[in-house]
């Protein structure tokens, strides 16, 4: 997998830089994680129920009421900032520790080391899970070191599934999945992932699509959009 990913401008949190500051990085490195270097045929990770079309809106699996997860709900009160320590996603059997990630010198977001591909990574310059705003957690889909990685089955999530994040302050925050989308890496939804929000949200991201043997990478990103419900 590559160690490059789109994110906030180096040295400036996304909340200060704003969406315009990260668009270029999204176009250059929006692929983030999941460029496997496996030489033998590997299992194909599950993809969202509806696959991405040619437009830039990506794949949408609507919430239970058909609402757009980016506009549904009003302002909400969030929790104080606290570092996340573990993430649990019952539907796909994820129970993983979380490391804190920043940015590389070129401004792209760091990812967990390949030898730790069963761990997830929290984008520390952004909100923590439970704070008002979009907390971002990333993870590998697979690696040559261990095969299927922490978010191998992320594309199998459906609206209504739950994601729980435990924080250093002892609070366990539950998020409910509203939609699952697949985007070509050249159309990574920077604003929807890193942009501001008036409620506590969570974005979980990995790679998707059919592995490109020539490019040695995956062509898409799978993004799970969720909101805090407990």
What is the tens place of the pLDDT at every residue in 48-106? 875 444 333 444 443 434 344 443 444 568 999 999 999 999 999 999 999 999 999 98
Please indicate, yes or no, if residue 8 is contained in any of the structural domains.
Answer: no
What's the pTM value of the predicted model, to 2 decimals? 0.76
Please indicate, yes or no, if residue 1 is contained in any of the structural domains.
Answer: no
Please indicate, yes or no, if residue 212 is contained in any of the structural domains.
Answer: yes
Please indicate, yes or no, if residue 69 is contained in any of the structural domains.
Answer: no
* Distance separating alpha carbons of residues 134 and 198, to the nearest angstrom: 9
List, in sequence order, the alpha helices (H) in 152-210: 190-194
Domain range holding 81? 14-64+77-228
Split at pLDDT 50, 70, 90, the class of 8 is very low
What is the Cα 221 distance to its own chain's centre? 9
CATH code, domain carrying 56 = 2.40.260.10
Please indicate, yes or no, if residue 50 is contained in any of the structural domains.
Answer: yes
Query: Which residues are registered as beta bridge partners of 86?
Result: 97, 166
Q: What is the DSSP letter of 91?
A: G
Higher local confidence (pLDDT), 137 or 49? 137
Please indicate, yes or no, if residue 132 is contained in any of the structural domains.
Answer: yes
Please indicate, yes or no, if residue 9 is contained in any of the structural domains.
Answer: no
The candidate with the shortest Cα–Cα distance to 113, out of 144, 80, 81, is 144
* Distance separating alpha carbons of residues 53 and 186, to the nearest angstrom: 13
Number of domains comprising the chain: 1
Question: In 3-state terms, what secondary structure has residue 64?
Answer: coil
Please indicate, yes or no, if residue 2 is contained in any of the structural domains.
Answer: no
Tokens read off for 90: 């019952």
């Amino acid at each position: 997998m590559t160690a490059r990913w789109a994110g906030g401008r180096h040295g400036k949190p996304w909340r200060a830089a704003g969406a315009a500051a990260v668009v270029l990085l999204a176009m250059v490195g929006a692929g983030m994680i999941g460029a496997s270097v496996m030489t033998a045929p590997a299992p194909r990770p599950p993809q969202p129920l509806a696959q991405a079309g040619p437009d830039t809106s990506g794949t949408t699996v609507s919430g239970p009421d058909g609402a757009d997860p980016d506009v549904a709900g009003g302002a909400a009160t969030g929790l104080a900032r606290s570092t996340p320590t573990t993430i649990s996603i019952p539907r796909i059997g994820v129970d993983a520790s979380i490391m804190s990630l920043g940015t590389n010198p070129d401004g792209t977001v760091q990812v967990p080391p390949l030898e730790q591909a069963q761990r997830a990574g929290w984008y520390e310059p952004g909100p923590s899970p439970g704070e008002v705003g979009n907390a971002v957690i990333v993870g590998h889909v697979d690696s040559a070191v261990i095969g299927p990685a922490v978010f191998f089955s992320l594309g199998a999530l459906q609206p209504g599934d739950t994601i729980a994040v435990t924080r250093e302050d002892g609070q366990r925050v539950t998020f409910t999945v509203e939609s699952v989308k697949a985007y070509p890496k050249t159309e990574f939804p920077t604003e929807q992932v890193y942009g501001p929000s008036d409620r506590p949200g969570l974005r979980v991201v990995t790679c998707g699509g059919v592995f490109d043997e020539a490019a040695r990478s995956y062509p898409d990103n799978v993004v799970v959009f969720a909101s805090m419900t407990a």
